[in-house]
Amino acid sequence: MASVKPRVKVPKTASAGDVITIKTLISHPMESGQRKDKSGNTIPRRIINAFSCEFNGQTVFSCAIEPAVSANPYLEFTAKVTEAGTFKFTWMDDDGSVYTQEKKIALK
């Protein structure tokens, strides 16, 4: 399997009180568990099943992800920035793997 790679786009700076747009994409095949390999064996289910974003330790966005989502799931959402800090992004995989990425934002 190709390596799983999260990518995140967060503005480097914002004014206090700004609502910013955050974009995330994780390279992942999202195997539903319903397909068969060349030998006729079922390919085990392996999907990103949950995502969360925290800002300075507080959750600002989270969601459950279902098998019907395509490979390489893309998420876009907004967050209000009241102070400088760090966004922490977490993706959870069916196999127990956890992928994280962090991005800092400064105040103008």
CATH label of the domain that carries residue 23: 2.60.40.10
pLDDT band at 2 (very low <50, low <70, confident <90, very high): low
Contact 29, 41 (CB under 8 A): no
Contacts of 17 (CB under 8 A, 6+ apart): 80, 81, 82
Q: Provide the residue range defining the domain that includes 57.
A: 5-107
Using DSSP, state whether 3 is helix, strand or coil: coil
Q: Domains in the chain: how many in total?
A: 1
pLDDT on residue 30: 86
- Is the model's pLDDT at 60 over the cut of 80? yes
What region, left, alpha or beta, does residue 34 occupy, with left being phi > 0 and alpha being psi -120 to 50 degrees?
A: alpha
Triad 55, 7, 20: Cα angle to 5°: 45
Mean pLDDT of 22-46: 91
Handedness of CA 29, 33, 34, 38 (dihedral sign): positive
- Is the model's pLDDT at 65 over the cut of 70? yes
pLDDT on residue 4: 87
CA distance 39 to 36: 8
Hey, which residues does 50 pair with through a beta bridge? 64, 92
